[in-house]
Amino acid sequence: MCGLFAYAGENNATSVVVEGLKRLEYRGYDSWGVAVLQADQMQLIKHVGAIGDVEFKDHLPDARVALGHTRWATHGAVNLTNGHPHLSRNGEFSLAHNGIVENYQQLKNDLTAQGESFDTDTDTEVILRLIEVNLLATDDFRQAARQAFLCLQGRNTIMVVVNEEHRVIGIRNGSPLLVGKGKDEYFFASDSLSFADHTDQCLLLDDLTLLDYRDGDLGLYAVADDTELTVDWVEVNHQSTLMAKDGHPHYMLKEILEQTSSIPRAGDISFQELRPLVAAASRARSVFVTGAGGAFFAADQIAYLLRNIGGVHALGIKAYEIASYSCMLHEGDLLIAVSQSGETADTIEAIDYAKAKGLSIACVVNMAGTTITRLSDYTYYNHCGPEICVLSTKSATAQITFGYVLASALRDDRSSGEHKSETEFLAAQMHTGFIDRLVSRTLEVAKKIAKQNHLFILGHEQHFGTALIGALNVKEASYLHAEAFSAGELKHGVIALIEAGVPVIVFVGKEDSYMLNVAAEVNARGAFLIGIAHEDNSLFDEFIELPMAGQGLVNIVSAIIPCQLLAYHLAILRGCDPDRPRNLAKSVTVK
């Protein structure tokens, strides 16, 4: 959720933090703020809205230490008062927070009974007041912050900048925090993408760990008992950090178009690399594939591929519902976790639950050095590059491509290389000319349905998952109510929703008589029928062409892209920001 970024070094800290926050904007764009330590005084800069929209023309305050935050609101309205960072009453320190203090109401009541008052509606302010109360009993700021943190329940990470010794203190539990080290400078952030253009030297904090930086010296301590820990710097191999829109009006469109290269990269993995995971899946009685939000729909598609191509007993389960599958989880089984950020709170909890049951853990993520990678026995990356738009587009297809390669390896790990020819074939089919026609065609269709209140999407077998992904994309980007159904449900109740003029999308494969019959039934009820298919049919009111039917991967992945483009165009036509859907954030690090 929220993004944290602090800097201490020889450069202008305010400028560095502002640029770092822009890279973290995907974590929240309700408001943003920077606390600047200048001449031993703390200055706050706070604004409502997205920091990515801000072009700074005036000189930013010159400072060596600064703390920044970009907010996704959980407690308290979106306004300047509730925005972070928060300043102590004496102005000696400022604090920013990512997470939810689950027991904040009780803490607030206790502090109020002691005579403390509150200025905001946030759960974060109780942390600030706890530290202030603790400082009345000790002049050791680390101990005051540590004791305050031990009172908190839930997944929380805090960062504090203190006037004394240009000090930065950070404490992690659940929500991510890591440190980057450059030449005479340090970066403290929610992810390494925010400082990737400065350094690849990182310190990855574990849960319940405290960092204490003072004038160039960095210490690491256990929150529980304050014992000093070893500072272990690792090199993180950052992906391409280019985050420009490259002339596109939105990141969403740019990232959709990048799939011509991101899908082949995701498929560029050898069966030799997959053999440890293939062995684990083959040993397991069951393979569970999990994710949260959009990642679950990709996970469910991966499970479909593992069943129908890999021949294993595989099931997709929502990360936040894993406890309901408790009786099915057995020691020796395998859980594959899917997450773009590698920090999804619900997925991390699902992993912890599965590990306690004795399952092995694999993951496919897009970000190196993240919590999920460190919890996993088998780690794989989808290499799709930074994805800035909140919606999963190229990361979703990259995840599914990985699943297809894994399923192929399970089927026959001696046929190494066949899957690469399929990804190359797909890339050839999705050439620039075809993509340009697809962009234009989906815009024409979007104009005809943009004023509708409902959209229904029907798919069958492999395209049931495609329909679910498409409906999610449309809902997220455009706020148009879109709902996906298995085509087989049509005559069992869903057909009652069909009335004259309501738009219905059907996915029709090559010579797919089953789906053509479904299309005829919907057409007979007067629906506005949109066929996403390899060839046109007289039943369709509108036709969106898929690439030439080829081998498995082409059919599975390429059908997702038209709905991504429809979602994009519908967002624009309905006056929505496709990159920043309301109420959403890219990385969900709270429950």
One-character DSSP codes across 437-491:
HHHHHHHHHHHHHTT-SEEEEEE-THHHHHHHHHHHHHHHHH--EEEEEEGGGGG
What's the mean pLDDT in 346-357?
Answer: 96
pLDDT at 60 over 80: no
pLDDT at 554 over 80: no
The two three-digit tokens of residue 183, written as one number:
């030449």
What's the mean pLDDT in 353-364?
Answer: 98
Tell me what pLDDT residue 415 has.
52
What's the mean pLDDT in 400-411?
Answer: 92
385 — pLDDT class (breaks 50, 70, 90): confident
pLDDT at 548 over 80: no
Comparison of pLDDT for 103 and 28, the residue scoring more: 103
Instruction: Classify 259 as helix, strand or coil.
Output: helix
Using alpha carbons, list the distances in angstroms from residue 398 to 182, 305, 402: 32, 14, 6
494 — pLDDT class (breaks 50, 70, 90): confident
Domain covering 3-235: architecture: 4-Layer Sandwich (3.60)
What's the mean pLDDT in 210-232?
Answer: 95
Share of the chain above pLDDT 70, in %: 94
- Specify the range with the lowest mean pLDDT, choosing from 61-65, 410-414, 521-525: 410-414
- Specify the range with the lowest mean pLDDT, choosing from 84-88, 120-124, 163-167: 163-167
- Specify the range with the lowest mean pLDDT, choosing from 100-114, 352-366, 425-439, 569-583: 425-439
pLDDT at 378 over 60: yes
Comparison of pLDDT for 175 and 400, the residue scoring more: 400
Tell me what pLDDT residue 462 has.
87
What's the mean pLDDT in 370-384?
Answer: 93
16 — pLDDT class (breaks 50, 70, 90): very high
What's the mean pLDDT in 85-92?
Answer: 94
What's the mean pLDDT in 289-293?
Answer: 96
Q: How does DSSP classify residue 494?
A: G
Structure confidence by residue, pLDDT tens digits, 447-491: 999 999 999 999 999 899 999 999 999 999 999 999 999 999 888
Tell me what pLDDT residue 525 has.
93
Tell me what pLDDT residue 50 has.
84
Tell me what pLDDT residue 550 has.
58
User: pTM here?
Assistant: 0.86
Looking up tokens 């999705």, which residue turns up?
A: 430
313 — pLDDT class (breaks 50, 70, 90): very high
| Class of the domain covering 433-584 | alpha beta
What's the mean pLDDT in 288-304?
Answer: 96
What's the mean pLDDT in 260-277?
Answer: 89
What is the pLDDT of the chain when averaged over all its residues? 90
Tell me what pLDDT residue 193 has.
82
165 — pLDDT class (breaks 50, 70, 90): confident
Structure confidence by residue, pLDDT tens digits, 70-81: 998 888 998 999
Are 541 and 434 within 8 A, CB to CB?
A: no
Tell me what pLDDT residue 52 has.
75
Tell me what pLDDT residue 486 has.
94
241 — pLDDT class (breaks 50, 70, 90): low
Tell me what pLDDT residue 58 has.
55
Tell me what pLDDT residue 546 has.
86
- Nearest Cα residue to 243 out of 579, 568, 570: 579
416 — pLDDT class (breaks 50, 70, 90): low
Q: Active-site residue numbers? A: 2, 586
Using alpha carbons, list the distances in angstroms from residue 85 to 97, 202, 256, 290: 8, 24, 35, 34
Using the CB atoms, write b or e for 233-261: b if 16+ within 10 Å: eeebebbeeebeeeeeebbbbbbbbbbbe
For the structural domain made of 241-429, what CATH number should be given?
A: 3.40.50.10490
| H helix count then E strand count, the chain | 17, 25
Entry field: residues in the chain: 591
Tell me what pLDDT residue 549 has.
60
What's the mean pLDDT in 489-497?
Answer: 87
Distance CA 120, CA 131 (A): 16
pLDDT at 589 over 60: no
Comparison of pLDDT for 583 and 476, the residue scoring more: 476
Mapping DSSP onto H, E and C, the string for 192-248 reads HHHHCCCCCEEEECCCCEEEEEECCEEEEEECCCCCEECCCCEECCCCCCCCCCCCC
- Specify the range with the lowest mean pLDDT, choosing from 191-200, 289-298, 410-419: 410-419
Report DSSP letters for 276-295, one per residue.
Answer: HHHHHHHH-S-EEEEESTHH
Are 340 and 395 within 8 A, CB to CB?
A: yes
Distance CA 64, CA 202 (A): 20
Comparison of pLDDT for 553 and 243, the residue scoring more: 553
pLDDT at 531 over 70: yes
> What are the start and end residues of each CATH 3.60.20.10 domain in the chain?
3-235
Phi, psi of 469 (to 5 degrees): -65, -45
Share of the chain above pLDDT 90, in %: 69
> What are the start and end residues of each CATH 3.40.50.10490 domain in the chain?
241-429, 433-584
Tell me what pLDDT residue 167 has.
93
pLDDT at 214 over 90: yes
Tell me what pLDDT residue 239 has.
58
Tell me what pLDDT residue 250 has.
94
Using alpha carbons, list the distances in angstroms from residue 185 to 68, 116, 123, 298, 375: 16, 37, 31, 39, 29
What's the mean pLDDT in 317-332?
Answer: 97
Looking up tokens 């797919």, which residue turns up?
A: 512
